[in-house]
């Protein structure tokens, strides 16, 4: 299958390199000039796994303006606030046969994709995997080969032939896909998961295990989960996990699965980049407003992360 990875950051590189190794034709498209320059100078990307086995992987890299290919599937892995710019700059090679797939965190991206792609060409998903971009031209895949998993669901909730082909390619690439049958429920369940772990670990600049092992972690998580689940019930969003299962997933993920990992939101803040908090806790709080529910904790968390960003800007 012919793929274009829109955004060749940590996740774009991980998905793209694994799909390339599984035999697909992959082109990476990026706009961050120091990264583009480094990849061209090196003749590829240096890939590691858990900081070890650093080796060069050759990739095809283009900018939105230089690319003129016709991929079957575009995979979007930008940060939420970068997506509009990427869509605008890439739109010259979009056509109505192409599919758009994304496992970006947060919410807000689907509406933006819908401005360029028909609903029956959009496949959404969520990625439970940790990947780090230590600097331009370098990517670190955290976890062993086959680590992590992803959920995917077409926006129509009716998987077609291309959905199944994508699923098969992701499976061949050892990415452990699961096809779900509720689009919004799948995405929102991950938004709630991130609204606990990403936000708290970023605010305190701590690895996930430090939060998971904190005796008050379950109470903090439960408060955020309860608000978000109350809002989703009002919005008629059917989450794919119960409150108890979400709490359990957060506990296992932080304490057992990835105790040493810092979430991607932390990585942005410590590189003085804006975080995605407005698209995670901020999104939940805004959704609450539409249903006359004041998500006080999510609002507070959104501002607390902005305060942490503000503090770093003034260092
Ligand atoms: P990323 O920041 O690594 O890359 C996104 C874009 O930002 C790329 O175009 C990249 O070249 C550019 N970029 C990277 N560092 C930059 C810098 N210092 N200055 C300017 N531009 C820079 O993002 P990602 O981690 O690949 O995340 C993409 C999406 O996937 C996000 O929604 C994220 O929340 C989600 N996600 C990430 C992970 C993870 O472990 N990284 C896991 C699950 C979901």
Closest ligand 1 atom to 104 CA: 32
Residue nearest to atom 4 of ligand 1 (CA): 9
Q: How far is the CA of 232 from the centre of ligand 1 (A)?
A: 27
Q: How far is the CA of 280 from the centre of ligand 1 (A)?
A: 15
Assign 3-class secondary structure to the chain.
CEEEEECCCHHHHHHHHHHHHCCCEEEEECCCHHHHHHHHHHCCEEEEECCEEEEEECCEEECCCCCCCCCCEEEECCCHHHHHHHHHHHHHHCCCCCEEEECCCCCCHHHHHHCCCCHHHEEEEEEECCEEEEECCEEEECCCCCCCEEEEEECCCCCCHHHHHHHHHHHHCCCCEEECCCHHHHHHHHHHHHHHHHHHHHHHCCCHHHHHCCCCHHHHHHHHHHHHHHHHHHCCCCCCCCHHHHHHHHHHHHHHHCCCCCCHHHHHHHCCCCCCHHHCHHHHHHHHHHCCCCCHHHHHHHHHHHHHHHHHHCC
Q: How far is the CA of 216 from the centre of ligand 1 (A)?
A: 30
ipTM greater than 0.85, yes or no? Answer: yes
Residue nearest to atom 34 of ligand 1 (CA): 105
Residue pLDDT tens, the chain, 315 long = 999 999 999 999 999 999 999 999 999 999 999 999 999 999 999 999 999 999 999 999 999 999 999 999 999 999 999 999 999 999 999 999 999 999 999 999 999 999 999 999 999 999 999 999 999 999 999 989 999 999 999 999 999 999 999 999 999 999 999 999 999 999 999 999 999 999 999 999 999 999 999 999 999 999 999 999 999 999 999 999 999 999 999 999 999 999 999 998 999 999 999 999 999 999 999 999 999 999 999 999 999 999 999 998 888
At residue 315, the pLDDT reads: 83
Ligand 1 binding site (Cβ under 6 Å of any ligand atom): 7-12, 30-32, 35, 77-80, 82, 104-106, 127, 129-131, 133, 264, 271, 273, 276
pTM above 0.95, yes or no: yes
Residue nearest to atom 43 of ligand 1 (CA): 127
At residue 313, the pLDDT reads: 86
Q: How far is the CA of 168 from the centre of ligand 1 (A)?
A: 25
């Amino acid at each position: 299958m012919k793929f274009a990875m829109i955004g060749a950051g940590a996740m774009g590189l991980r998905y793209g390199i694994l799909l390339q190794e599984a035999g697909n034709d992959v082109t990476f498209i990026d706009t961050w000039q120091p990264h583009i320059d480094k990849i061209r100078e090196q003749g590829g990307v240096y890939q590691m796994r858990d900081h070890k086995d650093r080796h060069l992987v050759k990739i095809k890299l283009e900018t939105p303006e230089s690319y003129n290919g016709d991929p079957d599937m575009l995979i979007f892995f930008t940060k939420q606030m970068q997506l509009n710019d990427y869509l605008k700059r890439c739109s010259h090679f979009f056509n109505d046969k192409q599919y758009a797939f994304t496992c970006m965190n947060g919410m807000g991206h689907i509406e933006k994709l819908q401005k360029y792609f028909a609903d029956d060409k959009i496949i959404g998903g969520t990625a439970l995997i940790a990947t780090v971009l230590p600097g331009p031209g370098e990517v670190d895949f955290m976890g062993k080969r086959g680590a992590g998993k992803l959920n995917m669901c077409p926006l129509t909730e009716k998987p077609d032939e291309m959905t199944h082909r994508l699923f098969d390619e992701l499976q061949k690439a050892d990415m452990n896909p699961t096809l779900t049958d509720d689009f919004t429920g799948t995405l929102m369940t991950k938004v709630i998961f991130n609204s606990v772990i990403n936000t708290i670990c970023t605010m305190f600049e701590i690895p996930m295990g430090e939060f998971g092992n904190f005796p008050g972690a379950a109470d903090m998580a439960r408060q955020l989960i309860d608000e978000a689940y109350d809002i989703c019930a009002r919005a008629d969003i059917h989450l794919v996990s119960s409150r108890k299962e979400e709490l359990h997933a957060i506990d296992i993920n932080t304490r057992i699965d990835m105790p040493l990992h810092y979430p991607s939101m932390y990585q942005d803040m410590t590189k003085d980049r804006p975080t995605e908090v407005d698209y995670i806790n901020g999104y939940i709080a805004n959704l609450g407003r539409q249903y006359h529910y004041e998500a006080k904790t999510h609002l507070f968390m959104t501002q607390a992360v902005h305060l942490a960003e503000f503090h770093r800007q003034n260092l």
